[in-house]
Amino acid sequence: MNDQRDTRPPTHLDRTIVLVGLMGAGKSCIGKRLAQALEVPFVDADTEIEKAAGLTIAEIFAKYGEPSFRDGERRVMARLLQGPPCVLAAGGGAFMDTETRALIKRGSVSIWLRADLDTLAGRTKGRSHRPLLNHGDPRETLAQLMEKRYPVYAEADVTVDTGPDNPNVTTTAALQALERHLGRPLATVS
Ligand code: S3P
């Protein structure tokens, strides 16, 4: 009789994990914890774009406009996705780009951190570094972005719901979902 158990030792990550989701979903917060658990580096795409440009995201938007920011984002994402396995927090708009999305689908595992409007509005409130939320009613903007982006985020390999829970609860849920997707346990550090 065939023994169906997987007796191989838990594996380390051989692919980059890309966290997608709207502003305030917790991509950086959960990403750092996931990276620590999986013993791989955590990389924040927004930080890498800022380093490459020598400007903050808000400055890039103000000086060159959103289309230039998106060009830079596409280039930086392509570079990061070619690098060694890591946990990569993508900016909220990155997965909306056809090229970037195709690259992610080709070689990485994507996790959508899905949050409701109250969670997103609460977590982004009073913070001024996100240019898209600095004009008009941020809650309304987030609602419009949810409508437009959620059907596309739903193409991610794995969806994890996140809300007011302790980040460790969401991180554990993400790890479990990842293991289900990969079909085998991952080596994690306690
Ligand atoms: C954006 C999200 C931001 C940042 C930029 C645009 C978006 O990143 O890339 O302000 O289009 O949703 P976070 O999702 O990390 O806040």
Q: Per the domain annotation, does 168 fall within a domain? A: yes
pTM here is 0.93
**β-bridge partners, 42:** 87
Q: Which atom of ligand 1 is nearest to the CA of 25?
A: 14
pLDDT in tens, 86-102: 999 999 999 999 999 99
Q: How confident is the model at residue 187 (pLDDT cuts 50, 70, 90)?
A: low
What pLDDT does 4 receive?
57
* 60 pLDDT more than 80: yes
Q: For residue 8, how far is its CA from the centre of ligand 1 (angstroms)?
A: 39
Q: 17: Cβ–Cβ under 8 A, 6 or more apart, which residues?
A: 34, 38, 85, 86, 87, 88, 108, 109, 110, 111, 178
Percent composition of the chain: helix, strand, coil (DSSP 3-state, to 5): 55, 10, 35
The residue segments making up the domain with residue 93 are 16-179
> Is 57 touching ligand 1 by the criterion CB < 6 Å?
yes
Q: Which atom of ligand 1 is nearest to the CA of 22?
A: 14
- By mean pLDDT, which of 11-15, 68-72, 180-184 is the weakest? 11-15
* 130 pLDDT more than 70: yes
Q: Per the domain annotation, does 189 fall within a domain? A: no
Share of the chain above pLDDT 90, in %: 84
Q: Per the domain annotation, does 108 fall within a domain? A: yes
Number of structural domains in the chain: 1
Q: Per the domain annotation, does 9 fall within a domain? A: no
Q: Per the domain annotation, does 26 fall within a domain? A: yes
Pocket of ligand 1, candidates 46, 142, 162: which has the most ligand atoms within 8 Å of its Cβ, to mutate? 46
Q: Per the domain annotation, does 72 fall within a domain? A: yes
Q: What is the CATH number of the domain that holds 110?
A: 3.40.50.300
- Measured between alpha carbons, how far is 161 from 11 in angstroms, rounded to an integer? 25
> Is 44 touching ligand 1 by the criterion CB < 6 Å?
no
What pLDDT does 184 receive?
86
pLDDT in tens, 140-186: 999 999 999 999 999 999 999 999 889 999 999 999 999 999 998 88
Three-state SS for 190? coil
Q: Please provide the average confidence, as pLDDT, over all residues in the chain.
A: 92
Q: Per the domain annotation, does 122 fall within a domain? A: yes
Q: How confident is the model at residue 127 (pLDDT cuts 50, 70, 90)?
A: confident
- Measured between alpha carbons, how far is 47 from 157 in angstroms, rounded to an integer? 24
> Is 131 touching ligand 1 by the criterion CB < 6 Å?
yes
Q: Per the domain annotation, does 1 fall within a domain? A: no
> Is 24 touching ligand 1 by the criterion CB < 6 Å?
no
